[in-house]
Structure 1
C-alpha cells in the first residue's frame, strides 16, 4: 500500500471513528428504550475503537505495523477501553521510539557454545595438581614423556587416591607405564605385608595379654590398611576382610572398650555388605566415646544400605555444614 493510499485510508477511518465515537457518547444521553443504553454504548464504542485502530495503525512507522493482526488487535483494545487517548499514547510512543532509537547491540558480540573439557590440555593447567596429574596419566594422547613424569609425581600421593588409577594403568599400551604402576602397587603392598609378617611372628611368641591385644589390634589395622588403600581385589580382598575382622574381634575379647576397633569392625561389615552388623558396631563405638562427627557418615551409610532414608537425612543434617568435611558437604546438603 502506497503512502498516499495509506494516508487516505487513515483519514477516512479517523472520520468514521469521530462520528461513531460521537454516536456512542450521544447514546448515553438518550432515554432508555427497548435497548439498554449501556449495551448500545459498548457496541458503538467497539466500532469506534476499531475505526481508531485502523487510523492509528496507518500512521505508525512501518516497523511497528507488524505483525499486522496483533498490532491491530492491540490498538483496538487500547482505543476501545481508553477512547481516543489510548491510540494517541501508542502513536506518540512509537513515533518517539522511531525518532530516538535505543543504541543497537554491537555486531561483534555473539553467543558462544559452552566449552568442553579436553583432557589433553590439562597439562597446561597450573592448579589442581593431583587431578591434573591423574587426568594426564589417563589420557593416552599425551606424550609418553609427560605421562611418565606424571606417574612419577603421583607416587608421592596416598595410594588410597591413586590405587584405582594405578590398577587401570597395568593394561596401559606403554610398557614403561605398566612397569612403574606395577612397581608402585607392589611396593605399597609389600611394605604392609612385611609389617604383617613381623607382627604375626611377634604374636606367636608373646604370652602377655596386653602385648597380645596390641599385636592383634595392629594386625587388624594392617589388614584393614590393605583394603583401605585398594591394594587387594577379588578373593584376596574377601580374605583380607576376614583376617582384619578376625584380629579385631580377638583384640576386643581382651579389651572390649577399644572404640577404634569397633569402628574398624563396622567399616569391615560395610565392605562385606552387612549394614545391620555395621550399624551395631559403629553405634557401640559411639557409646564408648568415639567422636560422633567422625561416626555419623558411617552410620548414615549403614542406614542407607538398610533403606532407612529418613534416618540418613536426620544424621547428616545433624552434622551441619560447619562440621562436615569438604568432601561430605555436597552429601550433607543433598540429604538435609
Structure 2
C-alpha cells in the first residue's frame, strides 16, 4: 500500500473514531470505541508520513516511527492534523536549501601557447617553461612537457631542466637530472675524443682545427649551464686555452674572435674582451652579433653613455625580439 493510500485509510479510520465517539452515549464505551479506531489510524498515518521522510533522516526506523505515532496518538486532533499538514507542506512548498558558501569553478583550458598537436609530445617550446614551473599542473602532463623539452635546443632546455632539479615532485627531479646528465656525458665524450685527436695530430693546421673544436665543446658546457663552481672555472680556462691556440693559425676567423671575447668576458678580462669583439667586427662579423656584447661590456664599466649610444644603433634592426625590452628601456633613458 502506498503512502497516499495509507494516509487516506488513516483519515477514514480517524473519522470513524470521531463518529463512534459522538454516537455512543456511554462515556467509557465511547472512549474505548474511539481509541480502537484512533490507534490504527495513528499507525497508518505514521507509516504514510515515514515513507515521505528522506532516507538520511529516517534512521533509526523504530525510533522515528514511535515519535510519529506518539505525536498522532497522544495529541488526538492537533497531532493528526499537524503531522498530516507537515507532510503535505514538505512536498507542496519549495524546498529550503542551505546557502552555498563556495561555488564550483570549471578548470580553465590549457593555454594555447602551451599545447599543440604538431609537437611530438603535445607541447610548444614557447610555453613549456611556464607549464613546467606550475606545480599545480598534473604530474603526467608535466612529464610530457619535459619530454618535449628534451627535443629543444640545449641552450633553451638546459636552464629549465636545471631549475627543475629543485621541484617538489621526485619523478620530475629524477628526469631532469637524467636529461642533464646525458647531455653532459655526450659533450664530455666528444671532448675526450677531440683531445685524443689533438694529442695525436702533428700538422699545425689540423691541431688548430681540433683546438677550435675543443674550444667550442667547452663553451657548450658553459653555455648550456652543465658545469658549475670549480668545473665552470676549469671549462672556461680550457676553452680559453684552446681558442688562443686556434687563433695562432686562424687569426682571420671572426667567429673565433667572438668566442674568444666571450671567454675573456666570462673571466672578467673586460679590456681584452672588448678588443676581441672589435677585431671580430673588423673581420666582417655582422654588427647585430657584436654590438650587444660591446654594450654589455660598457654596462659592466658603468659607461652608460656608451651603452645608450651602442643600443641606439640597434633600434632599426629587425629580428631582435628578445632584445626589444632592453632597447626600449635604453631608448627612453
* TM-score, L = length of structure 2: 0.61
2:209 corresponding residue in structure 1: 214
1:247 corresponding residue in structure 2: 242
In the TM superposition, 1:131-210 aligns within 5 A as 131-210=126-205
Cα displacement (A) at 1:304: 0.9
Deviations 1:141-194 (A, max 9, x none): 222111111111111112212222212222323222122111110111111111
Any stretches of 5+ residues in structure 1 without a counterpart? 1-119
SS in 2 for 1:301: helix
For 1:231 and 1:209, the matched residues in 2 are separated by 31
Choose the corresponding residue for 1:124, options 69, 89, 110: 110
Cα displacement (A) at 1:131: 4.1
2:24 corresponding residue in structure 1: none
Higher helix proportion: 1
In the TM superposition, 1:259-274 aligns within 5 A as 259-274=254-269
For 1:149 and 1:130, the matched residues in 2 are separated by 12
Cα displacement (A) at 1:307: 1.4
Cα displacement (A) at 1:291: 1.6
Deviations 1:277-311 (A, max 9, x none): 21111111112222222111111111111111111
For 2:151 and 2:195, the matched residues in 1 are separated by 28
Cα displacement (A) at 1:268: 1.3
Q: Is the 8 A contact 1:286 1:292 kept in 2?
A: yes
**What do you get for the CA RMSD once the two structures are aligned?**
1.7
1:322 corresponding residue in structure 2: 317
In the TM superposition, 1:240-319 aligns within 5 A as 240-319=235-314
Cα displacement (A) at 1:324: 5.3
1:230 corresponding residue in structure 2: 225
Cα displacement (A) at 1:132: 2.5
SS in 2 for 1:322: coil
Number of paired residues?
Answer: 216
For 1:127 and 1:167, the matched residues in 2 are separated by 22
In the TM superposition, 1:16-165 aligns within 5 A as 124-127=110-113, 129-165=124-160
Q: Is the 8 A contact 1:275 1:303 kept in 2?
A: no
For 2:235 and 2:197, the matched residues in 1 are separated by 20
Q: Is the 8 A contact 2:125 2:148 kept in 1?
A: no
Cα displacement (A) at 1:229: 1.1
Structure showing greater radius of gyration is 2
For 2:326 and 2:282, the matched residues in 1 are separated by 25
SS in 2 for 1:328: helix
Q: Is the 8 A contact 1:279 1:303 kept in 2?
A: no
Q: Is the 8 A contact 1:227 1:237 kept in 2?
A: yes
Cα displacement (A) at 1:323: 3.8
Cα displacement (A) at 1:214: 0.3
In the TM superposition, 1:4-23 aligns within 5 A as none
For 1:267 and 1:244, the matched residues in 2 are separated by 10
